[in-house]
């Protein structure tokens, strides 16, 4: 299962960034005051996925000698307000997730009008160009969803539930829609609200008891995979579990055969590239990607390669 979409583009971007980092260490170091870059995400409390993105961003900020301001809200209006706040504070650059593009659009335009360079990452692969962003680093969620649909066909699944924890977030909708595009069986989206895991388990268990023919559940975040597995066991279902994104626990569960696979979009790289793109632009006027997104996934982690990935997951960078 080799789904390394955009790998060449990512490698090329990485090589370019590494070369330029060495050649242009001077401007960042020589600047009287370090650049301030704001990173704004739609992170939900309790989701360790965002800790990995932040680690990547912090590593790039340290290398580039910039000050990183990290802000987050899972609420569309509040994320938009954060963009307005850092624009008023006159930061030097903004890296953001376009999870709620309609709510964010006006404030993104205001930041750009104020002369602040803006890049996107993680969410908004179909919107960043329309909103005039300098670049984008992340996974094409539709491509990833289609890859999952093809994998489900290959495994002979017939009745699949796509578990969505944040209704209205465009990147999560794209994942389920991508599955639907290629999956030949029945697929239904089950919405849950955030990270209230007892409620998630109860709703999933009730769904499985209501429809015993469900044979696969795809979760859109790693923290939900163990909870769904508990619901499967409690309901007596024989459904399998696959998930988007990873965690050390999920990698162990894959190695032990409890979870079938995980789609890794490499969040560390997303956070790192977002900061580095802004630094390259600020110090040398560079843009990365040639008008295309720098793709960081999808990459299937399954039993065959889980051991190789585990050491990085335990270090909190994968």
pLDDT at 31: 55
Q: Is residue 308 part of a domain?
A: no
CA distances from 159 to 119, 183, 189 (A): 38, 10, 11
Identify whether residues 30 and 74 lie together within a single domain: yes
Q: Given the DSSP bridges, would you call strands 118-121 and 93-96 parallel, antiparallel or unpaired?
A: parallel
pLDDT of residue 23: 42
- Please indicate, yes or no, if residue 313 is contained in any of the structural domains: no
Q: Answer yes or no: are the C-beta atoms of 159 and 214 closer than 8 Å.
A: yes
Token representation of residue 193: 């609200």
Do 100 and 221 share a domain, yes or no? no
Q: Convert the pLDDT of each residue in 245-290 to its tens digit.
A: 999 999 999 999 999 999 999 999 999 999 999 999 999 999 999 9
Predicted pLDDT of residue 33: 81
**152 touches 179 (CB < 8 A):** yes
DSSP H/E element including 138: strand 136-138
Count: domains in the chain: 2
* Run of H or E including 86: helix 76-88
- 167/290 same-domain check: no
**Distance (Å, rounded) from C-alpha 306 to C-alpha 302?**
6
Question: How many C-beta atoms surround the C-beta of residue 304 within 10 A?
Answer: 12
Q: Of 308, 302, 255, 265, whose CA–CA distance to 155 is shortest?
A: 302
Q: What residue numbers bound the domain in which 167 lies?
A: 141-264
pLDDT digits (tens, 9 = 90+) for 7-24: 333 333 443 444 334 444
240 and 283 in a common domain? no
Mean pLDDT of 216-235: 97
**148/132 same-domain check:** no
Q: List the beta strands (DSSP E) in the chain.
A: 36-41, 67-72, 93-96, 118-121, 136-138, 159-164, 186-191, 216-219, 240-244, 261-264, 294-295, 299-301
The least confident of 3-17, 66-80, 98-112, 135-149 is 3-17
Q: Record the tokens describing residue 250, joined without a space.
A: 């999920």
d(CA 99, CA 23): 34
Q: Is 221 within a domain? A: yes
Predicted TM-score (pTM) of this structure: 0.82
């Amino acid at each position: 299962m080799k789904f390394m979409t955009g790998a060449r583009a990512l490698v090329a971007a990485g090589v370019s960034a590494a070369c330029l980092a060495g050649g242009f260490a001077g401007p960042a170091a020589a600047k009287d005051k370090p650049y301030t870059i704001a990173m704004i995400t739609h992170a939900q409390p309790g989701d360790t996925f965002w800790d990995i993105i932040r680690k990547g961003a912090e590593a790039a900020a340290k290398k580039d000698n910039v000050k990183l301001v990290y802000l987050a809200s899972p609420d569309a209006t509040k994320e938009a307000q954060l963009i307005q706040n850092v624009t008023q504070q006159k930061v030097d650059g903004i890296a953001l997730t376009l999870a709620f593009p309609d709510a964010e659009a006006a404030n993104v335009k205001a930041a750009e009008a104020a002369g602040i360079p803006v890049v996107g990452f993680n969410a908004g692969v179909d919107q960043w160009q329309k909103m005039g962003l300098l670049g984008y680093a992340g996974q094409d969620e539709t491509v990833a969803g289609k890859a999952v649909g093809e994998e489900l066909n290959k495994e002979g699944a017939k009745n699949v539930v796509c578990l969505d924890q944040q209704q209205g977030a465009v990147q999560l909708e794209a994942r389920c829609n991508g599955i639907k595009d290629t999956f030949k069986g029945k697929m239904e989206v089950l919405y849950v609200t955030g990270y209230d895991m007892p409620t998630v388990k109860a709703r999933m268990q009730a769904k499985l008891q209501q429809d015993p023919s469900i044979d696969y559940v795809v979760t859109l975040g790693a923290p939900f995979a163990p909870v769904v597995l508990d619901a499967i066991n409690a309901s007596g279902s024989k459904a399998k579990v696959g998930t988007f994104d990873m965690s050390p626990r999920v990698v162990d569960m894959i190695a032990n055969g409890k979870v079938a696979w995980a789609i890794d979009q490499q969040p560390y790289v997303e956070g790192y590239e977002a900061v580095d793109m802004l630094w390259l632009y600020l110090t040398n006027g560079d843009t990365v990607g040639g008008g295309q997104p720098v793709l960081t996934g999808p990459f299937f982690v399954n039993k065959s390669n889980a051991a190789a990935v585990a050491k990085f997951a335990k270090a909190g960078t994968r």
